[in-house]
Copies of this chain bind each other. A is one copy, B any other.
Amino acid sequence: MKAEEVPNPAVYRLSFYLRQLELFDHIGRHTISSKQLGEALGYTDAQVRKDLAYFGQFGHPGIGYRVDELISRLKKILGTDKIWNVLLVGAGNLGRALMTYRGFLRKGFKLAAVFDADPAKIGREFGELKIRPMEELAAAVSQLHIRMAMLTVPQDAAQTVADKLVAAGIRGILNFAAVSLNTPDDIFVQSVDLALQLEQLSFRMSMPPTGNPPAVG
């Protein structure tokens, strides 16, 4: 199985399985069946088995899955069995919000360095983080072994900064700018489009609860 052969939605489901298993672990459950895991998330047991089968054999006949074992295997598959150092470029409102977001470290992502092009912001401190000038980017990537970046710069600066990230050795970019990035094939870009999330809601809220969709012609 090659990385690119695992469909995106299946990877999301792995994350959801992991979160659900951590809940089960938290309440003291030691084993779980694919049916029980699926039911907790609204998936069929066939879906659960198929998703996990991408990565090998996990269950134990007559027992199901061992919760702690499946958690550690899923973390290994998702790459979150270790801490990733992550950098952030763009210390505007959104960047500062992400600097104080506590959900990252719990999941294995440590914000290790923050950069901005605005001299007025450089040197400002947020907890342990100090905003650094763009000129220090390449050295920090190398010194802190950073491979992952969050991009929260204005739309018209996004491509230029992405080019600098790639040149510095970054291999994965979480892109918050509402623009598509041109990057080499071996660079992974995950786009966060907040308006798109609202669009998903408006779709669900616009469809009638039963029957036909709204007339569109």
Q: Report which A residues bind B (CB closer than 8 A).
A: 1-3, 6, 8-9, 11-12, 14-15, 54-57, 73, 76-80, 84, 86, 92-94, 96-101, 103-104, 106-109, 147-148, 150, 171-174, 178, 186, 188, 190, 192-214, 216-217
Contact = CB atoms under 8 A, between A and B. Distances in A.
Contact of A77 (B171, B193, B203): B203
Nearest to A204: B188
B104 A15 contact: no
Nearest to A77: B216
Contact of A106 (B14, B150, B195): B195
**Secondary structure dominating the interface of A:** mixed
A27 to B, nearest CB: 14
Tally of this chain's copies = 2
A79 B97 CA distance: 29
B12 A200 contact: yes
Contacts of A195: 103-104, 106-107, 109
A216 B1 contact: no
A194 B12 CA distance: 12
Given A1-B213, A73-B216, A174-B197, A80 B188 contact: no
B201 A3 contact: no
Contacts of A54: 213
B207 A3 contact: yes
Contacts of A204: 3, 11, 172, 188
Nearest to A106: B195
